[in-house]
Amino acid sequence: MSALARRGGVNQHRSRMGAGLRSLPEQEQVALCRRSPLFSCIMATVVTEKLSRLFINVRQLPQLLGPLSPSTVSSSEVPKVFWKPYIHTGYRPVQQTWRYYFSTLFQQHNEAINVWTHLVAALVLLLRFQQLSQRVDFGQDLHAQPLFIIIVASITYLMFSSLAHLLQAKSEFWHYSFFFMDYVGVAIYQYGSGLVHYYYAIEPSWHEKIKGFYMPAAALLAWLSCAGSCYAKYRFHQSARLLSRLCQELPSGLAYMLDISPVAHRIYTAPRSERDDPALLYHKCQVLFFLIGAFFFSHPYPEKWLPGKCHFFGQSHQIFHVFLVLCTLAQIEAVVLDYESRRQIYSTLQGDLAHNFSALCLFTVTCSVLTAAYMARKVKNKLSFKEE
């Protein structure tokens, strides 16, 4: 029998079946269709087709997730601005597509650990914020505003840092611009830290001494920290580390000394009966973690001791990231405990000043963003002049 005849027979069978089905109730039509060999054949064909497409898509996953270019190169193949002390390989090639740099989130390179440490911490804080929002009325409780600010500031600096380390290899301009954005996040976090320490953790005796200047000084030093870091990044290279560290670390160090003073005073003056207070223990942990992290931020160890061994793991900046995350998590827990247990103290000391402190936070953010944008424009002009 020819193919044409077979096709005609099938079509006649379908027509007769359709006419017969239309004379039956709807439920019987469905049942009869399902028992039909033709229906089973059609369904098998459809399922086979779907599985084939799924198999093809699964086979394409490694290509979609894989790097779109050679994964890493040596320091000699990237501009000097990307160089890290004692790190000679693991760099990503410049001038690739944005898709390539996003895909390197799942690749091994010398920034991967820096990206993931802060990205995971940001996700942890998002979950913590969701838990807190079930028992803290951030919208109606005036005294919860500083707690809201420090959580948002922490997530902001962590996300900005992750983006900077992930995407900065695109070009020299984007290298500068993303790290300027990173410094904005740090400034916001510095102000938020100073705010919650002053609002929740402070003792009345220390509050009386510093209430006239603490918050304006905290805002000023947070902005100076951002401005100093941006200028150091723009003006100095690794060869001028002393001047770079002076511009970056001096305002940041002064900001930390001021911001941590309410906590340090409380730890120092705490009576013996309060030394096991969980909030105080968390505050001690955050100070310890910060100091350890600051050491690794300022000193290139262990890569200086192990040249050629820390291209991907074990860099000082990676260790700094880990301890900064621990510092932030301990700080958040301490502040939450202070918010819940010291309400009578801080509501008496602070009154209705939370709105003023929130406005000062907005001022700090605005100044820092404008500074970063201005420095990014200077970088663009500098690079354009160099190309000419």
- For 224, other C-beta atoms within 10 Å of its C-beta total 21
Annotated binding site for Zn(2+), which residues? 165, 317, 321
For residue 176, tell me if it sits in a domain: yes
- For 91, other C-beta atoms within 10 Å of its C-beta total 23
Q: Are residues 142 and 40 in the same domain?
A: no
For residue 15, tell me if it sits in a domain: yes
What confidence tier does 178 reach under pLDDT thresholds 50, 70, 90? very high
Q: Are residues 53 and 89 in the same domain?
A: no
Q: What is the extent of the structural domain holding 212?
A: 75-387
For residue 356, tell me if it sits in a domain: yes
Q: Are residues 10 and 79 in the same domain?
A: no
Domain count for the chain, please give it.
2
For residue 352, tell me if it sits in a domain: yes
For residue 70, tell me if it sits in a domain: no
Q: Residue 21: its pLDDT value, please?
A: 45
Find how far residue 375's CA is from the centre of its chain: 22
Q: Are residues 12 and 130 in the same domain?
A: no
pTM for the whole structure: 0.82
Contacts (Cβ under 8 Å, ≥6 apart) of 66: 103
Residue 199's nearest CA partner among 211, 209, 190, 187 is 211
Find how far residue 195's CA is from the centre of its chain: 21
For residue 118, tell me if it sits in a domain: yes
Q: Residue 51: its pLDDT value, please?
A: 60
Residue 87's DSSP bridge partners are 84
Annotated binding site, which residues? 165, 317, 321
What confidence tier does 176 reach under pLDDT thresholds 50, 70, 90? very high
Lowest mean pLDDT among 78-87, 360-369, 372-381: 78-87
The domain boundary, picked from 11, 30, 65, lies at 65
Residue 164's nearest CA partner among 147, 183, 191, 145 is 183
Mean of all residue pLDDT scores within the chain: 87
CATH number of the domain that residue 350 is part of: 1.20.1070
